[in-house]
Amino acid sequence: MMTATSPIERVVLTHLQIPLKESFRISGGEVAIKDAILVAVETSTGIGHGESSPMASSFGYSTDTPDGCWDDLRNTIAPSLIGRTVNSTAEIAALASTWTGSRFAAAGAENALWDLLGQAHHATIAQMLGAIDEQISLGVESGLAVGLCASIVELLKTIENHLAEGYRRVKIKIKPGSDVELVRAVRQHFGEIPLMVDGNGAYTAADIDVFRELDEFDLLMLEQPMKASDLDGLARLQEAVSTPVCLDETAETLELTAEAIRRKACRIVNLKIQRVGGLGPARAIHDLCYQQGIACWVGSMPELGLGQAHGIHLATLANCKYPTDIEPAARWFVDDYVVPPLELSAPGLFAVPTRPGLGFQIDAAKVRRYQVRRLDFTARTAG
């Protein structure tokens, strides 16, 4: 019988900001600085780490912000962890279900508990999720994601500069007025590379003819072309085209994902740990999709090192059928804070860590360098 972790004696929150190498643009906004809140849960025998990884408030991925996540972690989540022990992932889920507010905030703490539990039970997170050794040994495929560029020439140059690193597919961002011609140019320049597009919810059912044109380019999928709540539009689109529609922002909870599947609004689901509130909810959505014959893959915000490392473990699950959005830290950021560095182990491939828990540690000097604020919680301060 597995033993529980030692009681949590300390929780440390650290807000970091690390610049991107260049601004990242989607249809809903632009960001040049990456915010992340590290969550460290400490016992007498170990430390678990997680990352709450919202984008800046000016960015259009979600309504979650660094300040909002910080407040939820400081006021509710971190104090609730002091004195707790966890014996199973089910106990982590039960505790996380008591947290209200941002799912991004919850993900940081929930992931730290998975890391702590894995270390206590001498198991990797991939093993605790239910991946088999064969899947773990294969590694996790990395796909290239490219934001909106100032010109088609810049888009083609960006893709060309990175393809030599062996990425297993290419994703480009689109928006109304910048879509069909982008895909046509990429197809003409690069031929039959595995290619997909991401609309970040910028389209409506009135744009279905655009997607009928895109349907001719043999794309892997159309990711979140319409708003998260527009299940009618997504279902109409999936009925009109042969290319699979992929849910991203729509797949926020198990219940919403189930409803979208019931209404035939998709054939693929993007799993994002931050968006759904942690590894447990992401696994539940994965399992639902498997039961319903809907393929999955693992997306990224992108997060910094710890956030993406948790995604590597999640992507070992059997129903994750497509390359991830997880990329080496050096692809996006001027620096990172994890040891070992988040790098490809072979062209387009991440090795799955084999050390218990997450398999990555933090570089304390890097954390101090990029720290914006920090809070420590103990039994005395949380009480």
Task: Using alpha carbons, select from 295, 331, 335, 329 the residue that is nearest to residue 315.
Answer: 295
Q: Assess whether 227 carries a catalytic annotation.
A: no
Task: Using alpha carbons, select from 158, 160, 215 the residue that is nearest to residue 183.
Answer: 215
Residue 198's alpha-carbon distances to 172, 211, 279, 293, 340, in angstroms, are 6, 12, 23, 22, 31
CA atoms within 13 A on the CB side of 45: 14
User: In whole angstroms, what is the distance from residue 237 CA to residue 214 CA?
Assistant: 12
Task: Using alpha carbons, select from 139, 133, 86 the residue that is nearest to residue 111.
Answer: 86
Q: Assess whether 173 carries a catalytic annotation.
A: yes
Whether the CB-CB separation of 197 and 183 falls below 8 Å is answered with yes
CA atoms within 13 A on the CB side of 359: 19
> Cα(first)–Cα(last) distance of the chain, in Å?
32
Residue 215's alpha-carbon distances to 6, 113, 119, 130, in angstroms, are 54, 43, 47, 36
H or E segment and range at residue 283: helix 279-292
Check 157, 173, 321, 366 and give the catalytic one.
173
Check 21, 272, 321, 366 and give the catalytic one.
272
Residue 302 CA to chain centroid, in angstroms?
7
Residue 129's alpha-carbon distances to 132, 189, 317, in angstroms, are 9, 40, 7
User: Which residues make beta-bridge pairs with 333?
Assistant: 20
Whether the CB-CB separation of 141 and 168 falls below 8 Å is answered with yes
Residue 63 CA to chain centroid, in angstroms?
16
User: In whole angstroms, what is the distance from residue 304 CA to residue 309 CA?
Assistant: 9
Catalytic residues: 173, 272
